[in-house]
Amino acid sequence: MKAKMLTFTNQNSPVHRLTGATKLIVFAVWSVSAMITYDTRCLILMLLFSLVIFRISRVRFQDYAFVLYFILLFFLLNQLAIFIFSPLEGTRIYGTRHDLFHLAGRYTVTAEQLFYQFNIALKYAVVIPMALLFLLTTDPGEFASSLNRIGVHYKIAYSVSLALRYIPDIQRDYENIAFSAQARGIDISRKEKLPARLRNIVSILLPLILASIERISTAMELRGFGNGRKRTWYRGRPFTRSDYLALGMILAIAAGSTVVTFYDGSRFYSIF
Amino acid sequence: MSKVVIEFTDFSFTYRAQQEPTLRGITLSINEGEKVLIVGPSGSGKSTLAHCINGLIPFYYPGEMSGSLRIMGQEQSALSIAGLAEITGTVLQDPDGQFVGLTVGEDIAFVLENGAVPQLEMTERVEAAARAVDIHELLAASPQELSGGQKQKTMLAGVLVGNVDILLFDEPLASLDPYTGTKTIELIDRLQRETGKTAIIIEHRLEEVLHRPVDRIIVMKDGAIAGDLPAAELLSSSLLAEAGLREPLYLTALKYAGLVITPDMQPQHLDQLRMEGHADRLQQWMDSCAEEAEVLEPSPLLELKEVSFGYERDTEVLHRLSLTVNRGEMLAIAGRNGAGKSTVSKLICGIYRPSSGAILLNGRDISRDTIKERAEKIGFVTQNPNHMISKTLIYDEIALGLRLRGIPEDIIRGRVHEVLKVCGLHEFREWPVSALSYGQKKRVTIASILVLEPEVIILDEPTAGQDYRHYNEMMEFLRGLNSRGITVIMITHDMHLMLEYAQRTIVLADGKKLADDRPERILTDRAVVERANLKETSLFTLALKAGVGQPEELVRRFIAFDRRVRHR
Amino acid sequence: MAKKDILSIRTIVAVGIGSALFVILGRFGSIPPGIPNTNIETTYALLALFALLYGPVAGLLIGLIGHTLKDAIFYGSPWFSWVISSGLVGLIIGLLVAGISIQDGEFGRKEIIRFNLAQIAANAIAWFAVAPTLDILIYAEPANKVFTQGLIAGAANIVTVGVIGTLLAAAYAKTRTRQGSLRKLN
């Protein structure tokens, strides 16, 4: 039942030292840039850049190894699905057709399709290192203040902090409920349908959750949450020079990639 | 005369959804710098009184008020909840609900963040408050890493940091073991004296709160004030018994010995208790009620042999643990948080498998049995009944296990009705579960296990969060089951419970067995008591103070005598 | 006053706890039916219920925050087109069921039909139209692939919310009714 999750690793690297707000902006701008561009040259450069940053951050392989399996699996299934549904998507996009070999029925592998799917793979690959970095190097205590700093209302920012605070507690309750159901002989035979088991657990869990929402609300009410128009943050950190440097860099990259991508009027870069 | 900070005058309150008032005609004033204890059974209105002081009533729980309530000289209803929060700091009974920060430091800072205090000043104030409660070394710890006592300290620091005038504690001992409870009471006492703030403690565990002196005690009963007097006078009166509250055990013992408790005996604390000339009465009483200890013919039902286990490789939670549960016995398993108590129950039920060692039931190794096979013989009841109940109707909930086993409905009907009778739930059988009290829900969960006819039933903290009357009802019910031949294992840190109901107690510490003996011997063994976060029973302290020979024997005889008295 | 109500403390806590629950159920409460990249997600039943209990703003935020966190901490990277669609589901359900006062135990036949029409509309818009369109815009994936995926996910979610969500809401409504008529039996 214990599920591994990505958690903050407390290390001292230039990436760890950046403020949460900076990393949040970098991650957001980076993701949007990677979403927009389909220019292979941009994507390759961005991938190399992100790998360099990843290297600098000194995060350890074992801290994120398990998600790589998920990502890889997702990746392969998705690539397969694209090919099955639309084997000639590449031809449609690039407007040319170079058959490599014929498989069966409507399935012919074309150079355009390979190039198109390679680009899709690149798009994912570009985002992942930055997403992992953001999660692994940002102290959860800084999430809320960072969101607030980039303009999100402090109440909404705090709800993100609450979610992070209570994920382990809810997981513990979930496990307790599953445990007592099993110890009662309910619910353990694999024959009992999974939906029925889940419904059982959820229908026990939900009233507990609703009651805890009331308790937490009263506690926060008693401690003066939500009175002021503004709020300060214990864990907030001021920007330093490296923060401005990082922000400058990311804006340059975003601008650069947008210009390169749309320079010839098309979002797609073709080698054909 | 110091100034009045809280003043109720003929105050009544009715919750919006209810017909009857929860508070009736309260007249009460509390002065600056006073330390007041409010006691009362559950449902007596003591928590409602607290909600009026901190403003949750009427701002969060609406209702009808009459009479007047003035706080710091101002009419309460004219203030806002935010204004009241600046006057009164509340420590709630559920630390997981109040601890909203991701770390200790963030949580202490919460009220300052909300008040938009600049970060630099905030850091200093948090540090100072953390130091005051001695949690400053754990500022970066997450709530999941903390013990109950450490969470409580964080709550307390989070209240202190805001510079409030009144400290309000709503059942601060509810989720703490006896030792940590004592430490909390000491901490509250020290802070109150150092800061001179007004402190109001709401609690039904009287003996533990009186570990440190209070100025006066207010007794609540049925929404009204039944008494408002110093501890010594209260303990010399019959008010506690009338309200259904438990007096300190050592006083019960003195009463059995024929002493009349008077205020000048200083009965509020054992250390100050004056019983010159009476000490030998205790010895005489003890000699007069000589009684043989009941001896059970041990016949092993469940055995753990050299069991080791760890959730992760290299970190063992249990180390070669061996223990035996005898048929027909009522056994307590005790130990501080993290000692391995709940792991033991999970291994017995088969949720986890030991990394080495064997588990035997009736002499047969059950290591290879599935959870379901074990569930036929071994029942497990969770601490929180809400973690177990999934059906809307009581009947369906109890029938659930049988239905899943494919038993015909007419046989189910017979068995469910029989169990309903045993558990005192027969008259409620068509009620929805949601209409029951916490203690009744707990009975439903026990019934839903009993209906499967297990040989042994494991209960995790069977009386947690219940007042004396409900505690008594629950434990007498379990004793009744036990006398019908069901073996009962209780995982608990309630020392009254083990003293009064367990025939034997096994104490775990760091995944090993620290002691295995009759509870009165364990609770009088200072080395064991200390290592397991237990607390020496006050009966033993009394016996030493009175110079009784064989102090543990006094404890045993007291328990036996007390049970007969309460059964009369 | 109205503005204050939109982000009341209770709503904020509901968003936080609802998002945490979204993460846990998204991780443990999903059943793979054998089609790549799609799951039967019990967590959408919960999202619908929270939108019903705490309103459209809570629904929107739980969808956005919960889905982002779930993707991020278990799978390493958020899938934005679906994150946005989850938020949309919560928002639309919340808007369409605004008239049902479930807090007073009101959840009879009429309300059940209304709740289900709302959730069908919300899921259809989000998964049949918005998610695939965003997939095409952002990732330039083949149209027939993403629309098929959207169709399967949307249908699965409609069934899940229809069954589990309705049950949960009805069970909740029952706890809110007065229990004045209970008598002990002999």
What is the pLDDT at residue A188? 46
Q: Does C113 have pLDDT greater than 50?
A: yes
| Domain encompassing residue A76 | 1-139+238-272
Closest CA in chain B for residue C186: B427
Helix (H, G, I), strand (E, B) or coil at B81: helix
Would you list the DSSP string of C29-83? SEE--SSTT--EETHHHHHHHHHHHH-HHHHHHIIIIIHHHHHHHHHSS--HHHH
A:C CB pairs within 8 Å: 185
C171 close contact with B: CB closer than 8 A: yes
Q: Does C3 have pLDDT greater than 80?
A: no
Match 């069970």 to its residue by tokens.
Answer: C171
Residues of A with Cβ-Cβ distance to C16 under 8 angstroms: 158-163, 165-166, 216
Cβ–Cβ below 8 Å for A127 and C13: no
Q: Does C33 have pLDDT greater than 80?
A: no
Question: Which among B94, B112, B401 has the least Cβ separation from residue A184?
Answer: B401
User: In the structure, what pLDDT confidence band is assigned to residue C4 with cuts at 50, 70 and 90?
Assistant: very low
Torsion angle (degrees, nearest 10) of CA C155, C157, C160, C163: -70
Rg of chain B in Å (alpha carbons): 25
Residues of C with Cβ-Cβ distance to A198 under 8 angstroms: 29, 31, 42, 164
Q: Are residues A121 and A216 in the same domain?
A: no
Contact indicator for B558, B253 with CB cutoff of 8 Å: yes
Residues of A with Cβ-Cβ distance to B453 under 8 angstroms: none
**What are chain B's partners, defined as 3 or more CB pairs within 8 angstroms?**
A, C
How far is residue A143 CA from its own chain's centroid?
A: 14
Residues C126 and C41: their CA atoms lie apart, in Å, by 15
Residues of B with Cβ-Cβ distance to C184 under 8 angstroms: 427-428
**Mean pLDDT for all residues in chain B:** 89
The average pLDDT across B11-40 equals 92
Would you list the DSSP string of A58-115? T--HHHHHHHHHHHHHHHHHHHHHHHHH-TTHHHHHHS---EEEEEETTEEEEHHHHH
- pTM recorded for the entire structure: 0.88
Cβ–Cβ below 8 Å for B100 and A176: no
Q: Are residues A9 and A112 in the same domain?
A: yes
Q: Which residue ranges in chain A fall short of pLDDT 50? A: 1, 188-189, 191
Q: Which long-range contacts (CB under 8 A, 24 or more apart) does A51-55 make?
A: A51/A129, A53/A15, A53/A129, A53/A130, A53/A133, A54/A129, A54/A132, A54/A133
Question: Which among A177, A186, A232 has the least Cβ separation from residue B113?
Answer: A232
What is the pLDDT at residue B279? 79
Residues of C with Cβ-Cβ distance to B98 under 8 angstroms: none
Of residues C184 and C29, the one with the higher pLDDT is C29
Q: Are residues A15 and A88 in the same domain?
A: yes
For B279-291, write each residue's pLDDT tens digit: 788 888 888 887 6
Q: Are residues A256 and A215 in the same domain?
A: no
Chain C closest CA to B7's CA: distance in Å?
Answer: 29
Closest CA in chain A for residue B145: A168
Question: Which among B427, B432, B434 has the least Cβ separation from residue C184?
Answer: B427
The average pLDDT across B524-533 equals 87
Helix (H, G, I), strand (E, B) or coil at B417: helix
Q: Does B6 have pLDDT greater than 70?
A: yes
Q: Are residues A6 and A34 in the same domain?
A: yes
CATH class of the domain whose range is B300-538: alpha beta
* Domain contains A146: no
Domains B4-246 and B300-538 share a fold: yes
Tell me whether strands B88-91 and B166-170 are parallel, antiparallel or unpaired: parallel
Question: Which among C7, C46, C74 has the least Cβ separation from residue A153?
Answer: C7
The average pLDDT across B187-206 equals 92
Residues of C with Cβ-Cβ distance to B426 under 8 angstroms: 185
Q: Are residues A86 and A193 in the same domain?
A: no
Tell me whether strands B198-202 and B216-221 are parallel, antiparallel or unpaired: unpaired
Q: Does C97 have pLDDT greater than 70?
A: yes
Cβ–Cβ below 8 Å for C185 and B430: yes
Candidate CATH numbers 3.40.50.300, 3.40.50.1170, 1.20.120.160, 3.40.640.10; the one for domain B4-246: 3.40.50.300
For B297-319, write each residue's pLDDT tens digit: 788 999 999 999 987 767 788 99
Q: Are residues A88 and A29 in the same domain?
A: yes
Amino acid at the residue B63: G
Q: Are residues A116 and A249 in the same domain?
A: yes
Residues of A with Cβ-Cβ distance to B388 under 8 angstroms: 177, 180-181, 184, 204
Closest CA in chain A for residue C77: A131
Q: Does B476 have pLDDT greater than 60?
A: yes
What is the pLDDT at residue C36? 53
What are the extents of the domains in chain B?
4-246, 248-293+539-568, 300-538
**What are chain C's partners, defined as 3 or more CB pairs within 8 angstroms?**
A, B
Helix (H, G, I), strand (E, B) or coil at A48: helix
Q: Are residues A191 and A205 in the same domain?
A: yes
Q: How many domains does chain A divide into?
A: 2
Chain C closest CA to A203's CA: distance in Å?
Answer: 7
Q: Does B91 have pLDDT greater than 90?
A: yes
A40-57 vs A241-262: helix crossing angle, rounded to 10: 160
* Domain contains A145: no
Question: Which among A173, A181, A219 has the least Cβ separation from residue B98?
Answer: A219
Residues B184 and B62: their CA atoms lie apart, in Å, by 32
Q: Does B390 have pLDDT greater than 50?
A: yes
The average pLDDT across C111-119 equals 95
Closest CA in chain A for residue B83: A224
* Domain contains A222: yes
C72 close contact with B: CB closer than 8 A: no
A41: which 2 tokens? 């040259």
C174 close contact with B: CB closer than 8 A: yes
Q: Are residues A55 and A87 in the same domain?
A: yes
Q: Does B389 have pLDDT greater than 90?
A: no
Q: Are residues A265 and A215 in the same domain?
A: no
Cβ–Cβ below 8 Å for C24 and A167: yes
Q: Are residues A99 and A224 in the same domain?
A: no
A218 close contact with B: CB closer than 8 A: yes
Closest CA in chain C for residue B434: C175
Residues B519 and B525: their CA atoms lie apart, in Å, by 10
User: In the structure, what pLDDT confidence band is assigned to residue C179 with cuts at 50, 70 and 90?
Assistant: very low
Sign of the dihedral defined by the CA atoms of residues B451, B457, B458, B460, in that order? positive
For B544-567, write each residue's pLDDT tens digit: 888 888 888 888 889 888 888 877
How far is residue B458 CA from its own chain's centroid?
A: 18
Return the residue in C1, C12, C41 with the most chain A beta carbons within 10 A, the one to mutate for interface testing. C12
Q: Does C34 have pLDDT greater than 80?
A: no
Spatial CB neighbours of A172, under 8 Å, sequence gap ≥ 6: none
Cβ–Cβ below 8 Å for A224 and B102: no
